[in-house]
A and B are shown apart, each in its own frame.
Chain A
Amino acid sequence: MFGRSRSWVGGGHGKSSRNIHSLDHLKYLYHVLTKNTTVTEQNRNLLVETIRSITEILIWGDQNDSSVFDFFLEKNMFVFFLNILRQKSGRYVCVQLLQTLNILFENISHETSLYYLLSNNYVNSIIVHKFDFSDEEIMAYYISFLKTLSLKLNNHTVHFFYNEHTNDFALYTEAIKFFNHPESMVRIAVRTITLNVYKVSLDNQAMLHYIRDKTAVPYFSNLVWFIGSHVIELDNCVQTDEEHRNRGKLSDLVAEHLDHLHYLNDILIINCEFLNDVLTDHLLNRLFLPLYVYSLENQDKGGERPKISLPVSLYLLSQVFLIIHHAPLVNSLAEVILNGDLSEMYAKPEQDVQRSCAKPSIRCFIKPTETLERSLEMNKHKGKRRVQKRPNYKNVGEEEDEEKGPAEDAQDDAEKAKGTEGGSKGIKTSGENEEIEMVIMERSKLPELASTSVQEQNTTDEEKSAATGLESARWSRPFLDMVYHALDSPDDDYHALFVLCLLYAMSHNKGMDPEKLERIQLPVPSEAEKTTYNHLLAERLIRIMNNAAQPDGKIRLATLELSCLLLKQQVVTSTGCVIKDVHLACLEGAREESVHLVRHFYKGEEIFLDMFEDEYRSMTMKPMNVEYLMMDASILLPPTGTPLTGIDFVKRLPCGDVEKTRRAIRVFFMLRSLSLQLRGEPETQLPLTREEDLIKTDDVLDLNNSDLIACTVITKDGGMVQRFLAVDIYQMSLVEPDVSRLGWGVVKFAGLLQDMQVTGVEDDSRALNITIHKPASSPHSKPFPILQATFIFSDHIRCIIAKQRLAKGRIQARRMKMQRIAALLDLPIQPTTEVLGFGLGSSSSSQHLPFRFYDQCRRGSSDPTVQRSVFASVDKVPGFAVAQCINQHSSPSLSSPSPPASGSPSGSGSTSHCDSGGASASSTPSVAQSPTDDPTTMEQPQPNLLDQLVIVSETEAGARPGKSLAKSADEPVSLSPSLIPAQQPTISLLCEDTADTLSVESLTLVPPVDPHSLHTLAGILPPPMPATEGTGTPGEEAGPSEPAGPAQH
């Protein structure tokens, strides 16, 4: 086929490409064209091939030989194209021509060549040619052609397209006629073309005026109507949804709305003032206010006017604020939402944005009185007579639309005239619109009419914002009230989530005037100085948090996360936190609740640890992105619990015990992190495993005295290496001897024991299969095996030793972590001999130490002091430390479950804990009212704490027992207040560390701890005692060991 078409052009295979790309060849092709001016079945292929070759030569000429273009121009070869096009030459030729044109304009690089092609108006003739747009391929090529042209628009070329004298701008006007084409790619192309045109129009006043005066109003009003119709369809989809069946359609509609918003935003950020005024006016007064904002209020009132449901309206408004940052638009919109008055709802012309715009508008969502195509033609032919109709992909539908009665037509024209020529400001309020079909407004309310007109006169020439500013005090704020009200819903957070998003979006909007937000005391995130915040909102946020921490809380994780974000944004400043004590207390209460909630799910089961770590990972790796959240259509449907919907976990309620556990863990993390942040404390406990604490490949370790097992490792891909297997507290590693130092080893592989699986090999008693999976980094990725190998040992004894060591190590590693979780949850540690001794007696406790400490302590492992001191400095085993702490206090607590009163006498001031403890004893609102001492009580612990933290290896849990020990004399007394059940203090002014200390002890009195275990503990008690006492000094001693590790590498 290929060969044949070549030969037709006379090239043949013999000819070199040089000949094909030449002026001579073009002359030959010209000759072919002149011989075949009429398209027939016979010469069709020849013509197509000729056109194709001409394209190629022209592009070649553009890059190599300018005489080609001269010839092309001289012979007016474009006319042949047009001529062929105008014959009903059929789709094949048509497509080929359009493709040729696409290629031509796409590949021409020289300005002059481009001018040649554009001169004589041939291109415009092609643009307005009546193609058969019902053919999808022709449509696609045609719109691509326009798009390609629009990309060639610039200050010079624009004159070839826009004719100032005849008011012709075919490229633009033909393109926008397809703005609502059913094929999405076509619509996208139209948007591209318009954006390209607007960008160029910035530098071309005449064109700008043309676009604004002749096309902007028809185009934007139709566009806005198109968007609004989609929104109503969207709302309908939400309303009629049953069992989430509409989700597919809903997500398309939401995506479509987002596309539109992004498109509008793209127009706005071109920053063409002229256009922006018109567009802003239309958006505000024809869409956002009448359809979105007015739907916030009065769901039942409003009569005929189109409205959407509250959640949909909140959702869409959030999207608007998240995407559009054009200051005049967002400020006017926010003004109405935050300060809006009911009277505004009723037909008042809008002045504040569109002073410069000729056309006054009414706030209503109405269908444009005529189709875009018609408006454009009307405008174009204002001076001229007839309206020329062009075929269109939707010819049929159009006819109906345009077949209106003559009277109506006249009416339309009158409207039109008024619209474009301006002049009729407030007049258009009532009578006229009723005659127009599809006008649906809240005009039915007669009482309002009077006030409306008064309102109009008053504000016609006023700055409305000024007016609202002055009068806001006595105006009700129905929209804002509604916004707050939606946060109150006790049953679920369906509305609350949207409200939070809206507030978040408004406060993060770059175009927003901070003053607007300040009026409702909603600070913008960047604001440096804050002294106060919105108490009403903060209280509601804390209530949501509290609710989330309840076992049956109906708050979704997304809502909680957003609440935390908003609260932080309100109270955290660059210098500190301005939260009121009473609010902080409530928040602490919520955090306590969340601890209780997790405790309820805390189990010794393996899976809990994995869930715990996994939740932490996914929470930190995937922080909330509100914009993404608001792109998800699924939250538009009432919250559901079932994962069968495929809705993301954070956007629905938990289903089943596992998810409830996951949720509880998440709530705990979020509230813990919030609480720490508000109190200005660093997180020292999470994640349970920090990357920097782990042994890494190429670390060099001192392995003297370590248990090492030689083995051969055969990886899956057949590789075989000799290694020594070493088992550390959390990791297993494969090392090879370090050539430079005897007894040291270089780590070749290190993997977490907790993620390891060991199995025997059936027919080889010396071999083990070992797999270690890397935990999935995102919910989508698969767990990835970082090690998958067969280990062969020298004999079956060593094999069994290795297997046991690994298996035990795995259990041990997991148990350690579970204990750390228990410490986080203030749960007592369940002691087992295995934990303490790893089944190997006391000396083996050094085995719990990571290798990096070995060089310090291994050799001295016979010396218990050193060993213990090192141990105390290792933050990896706070659980252990806490356990000791509990032992210490267990007896006094047990012996005196004493009344709170006992706490007060000893509030000697020697410790701050007692003070705050005492305060919490009275627990409660009354305390909140006397916050004067609180700053001191809350500050005091910190220097204290800091010291300890430095010495005792920066873990809180580690620190606390240490501290308690230091003040052992006071401790028993300060314990008793803690007996106040932790459930109660929703308001508690305890600062965190005290609270924790207390509750640790309080819990020792409460199930699930078996009293016997305490006794058991007491039995074990003596040995650890000296260890903890040694915390202070030996801790320092051990300190240097930390840097020593890396230094060796």
Chain B
Amino acid sequence: MTYAYLFKYIIIGDTGVGKSCLLLQFTDKRFQPVHDLTIGVEFGARMVNIDGKQIKLQIWDTAGQESFRSITRSYYRGAAGALLVYDITRRETFNHLTSWLEDARQHSSSNMVIMLIGNKSDLESRRDVKREEGEAFAREHGLIFMETSAKTACNVEEAFINTAKEIYRKIQQGLFDVHNEANGIKIGPQQCISTSVGSIASQRNSGDVESNSGCC
């Protein structure tokens, strides 16, 4: 499966905000969220198409490694994009954004694209953080913002893809040195590594079927 670029993402945010679920929801649609079952994963990869270019997204969840400073540090540095996630039903996860962001800014390259995500938008009744607050925070810190629901898959696709678009735009502006893999961007191999007939990529197409109509 060949690709033009590979972007490495990390997902950060407090525990329990649904990072790994977002990740699984994006990388493998077949794990349909069911109300009595939450499934997450710490690593995932998926191909997306941006401006007619095949781009592979590799997403690394940093969960469970917060206690080691070296690990968080390195993760930040190796990523081109970061999804900073909070839970709209728990204010404290929103309050911690500042320190997450500080960490991210300190350790990452200045070009890293950070997307702020208010997750669990399906739980409107228990909402504790207003959408406007998220928007304001994002505006203040120069982030892209979205509210998503890993459960209903609402906006999940967009969150990852918009981040990729932004990275792609920065590449085209020459802000990223694509030849330096330390930036979390890799130029794809010129040909397929293995024969993959309707493998992962085709399954991922299932995402297109899914309706992205405004649920949030």
Contact = CB atoms under 8 A, between A and B. Distances in A.
Contacts of B30: 2, 5, 49, 52
B78 interface: yes
A135 B74 CA distance: 22
A64 interface: yes
B166 interface: no
B6 to A, nearest CB: 8
B41 A262 contact: no
Given A1-B206, A106-B41, A144-B42, 7 more contacts: A1-B202, A21-B37, A60-B37, A99-B28, A151-B64, A259-B73, A628-B106
Nearest to B63: A151
B212 interface: no
Interface stretch (B111-119, B123-131, B156-164, B177-185): B177-185
A102 B37 contact: no
Given A5-B30, A184-B78, A248 B177 contact: yes
Contact of A2 (B42, B64, B182, B206): B206
Given A56-B31, A259-B77, A266 B39 contact: no
Nearest to A59: B39
Interface stretch (A90-98, A328-336, A680-688): A90-98
A166 interface: no
Contact of B78 (A92, A188, A249): A188
A780 to B, nearest CB: 9
Interface of B: 8, 20, 24, 28-32, 34, 36-45, 58, 60, 64-65, 68-71, 73-75, 77-78, 106, 177, 180-182, 193-196, 198-200, 202-203, 205-206, 209
B181 A184 contact: yes
A17 interface: yes
A102 B43 contact: yes
A195 interface: yes
A103 interface: yes
Contacts of A59: 37, 39
A191 B74 contact: yes
B69 A140 contact: no
A59 B20 CA distance: 15
A195 B194 contact: no
A1 B70 contact: no
Nearest to A199: B67
Contacts of B209: 1-2
A249 B205 CA distance: 38
Contact-size category for A: 35 or more
A107 B205 contact: no
A188 B75 contact: yes
Interface of A: 1-2, 5, 17, 21, 45, 49, 52, 56, 59-60, 63-64, 90-92, 95, 99, 102-103, 106-107, 135-137, 140-141, 144, 147-148, 151, 184-185, 187-188, 191-192, 195, 248-249, 252, 255, 258-259, 262-263, 265-266, 628
Contacts of B8: 185
A102 B73 contact: no
Nearest to B69: A262
A63 B199 contact: no
Nearest to A53: B30
A1027 B20 CA distance: 73
Contacts of B70: 191, 195, 259, 262-263, 265-266
A192 B63 CA distance: 11
A140 B77 contact: no
Contacts of A21: 34, 37
Contact of A103 (B24, B60, B181, B195): B24
A7 B24 CA distance: 21
Contacts of B32: 17
Query: Most chain-A CB neighbours within 10 Å: which of B42, B73, B106?
Result: B42
A64 B194 CA distance: 39
A31 B102 CA distance: 53
Contact of B45 (A91, A137, A192): A137
Nearest to A141: B43
B214 to A, nearest CB: 21
Nearest to B141: A781
A1 B208 CA distance: 10
A185 B60 contact: yes
16 contacts: A21-B34, A52-B30, A52-B31, A91-B193, A91-B199, A103-B39, A103-B40, A107-B40, A135-B194, A184-B182, A188-B78, A192-B68, A252-B182, A259-B73, A263-B71, A266-B69
Contacts of A184: 74, 77-78, 181-182
B193 A135 contact: yes
A882 B199 CA distance: 82
B42 A106 contact: yes
Given A2-B30, A258-B73, A64 B42 contact: no
A60 B31 CA distance: 12
A266 B31 contact: no
Nearest to A62: B37
B41 A103 contact: yes
Contacts of A188: 71, 74-75, 78
The 9 closest A-B pairs by CB, nearest first: A262-B70, A144-B43, A2-B206, A263-B70, A92-B199, A184-B78, A91-B194, A188-B74, A252-B182
B45 A140 contact: yes
Contacts of A147: 42
B105 to A, nearest CB: 10
Contacts of A136: 193
A262 to B, nearest CB: 3
B195 to A, nearest CB: 8
B194 A185 contact: no
Contact of A185 (B28, B37, B58, B195): B58
Query: Most chain-A CB neighbours within 10 Å: which of B20, B41, B70, B198?
Result: B70
Contacts of B58: 140, 185
A90 B45 CA distance: 17
A102 B200 contact: no
A263 B74 CA distance: 9
A187 B182 CA distance: 12
A513 to B, nearest CB: 24
Contacts of B193: 91, 135-136
A226 to B, nearest CB: 14
Nearest to A60: B37
A259 B77 CA distance: 10
Given A2-B30, A140-B58, A102 B71 contact: no
B56 to A, nearest CB: 9
Contacts of A263: 70-71, 74
A134 to B, nearest CB: 8
Given A5-B203, A56-B31, A148-B42, A63 B64 contact: no
B68 A17 contact: no
Contacts of B181: 184
B68 A266 contact: yes
A443 to B, nearest CB: 35
B39 A56 contact: yes
B42 A90 contact: no
Contacts of B74: 184, 187-188, 191, 259, 262-263
Nearest to A1: B206
Contacts of B20: 106
B78 A266 contact: no
B68 A195 contact: yes
Contacts of B78: 184-185, 188
A192 B36 contact: no
Contacts of A265: 69-70
Query: Most chain-B CB neighbours within 10 Å: which of A56, A95, A103, A258?
Result: A103
B29 A2 contact: yes
A331 B123 CA distance: 55
A191 B64 CA distance: 13
Nearest to B6: A136
B49 to A, nearest CB: 16
Query: Most chain-A CB neighbours within 10 Å: which of B40, B71, B202?
Result: B71
B71 A191 contact: yes
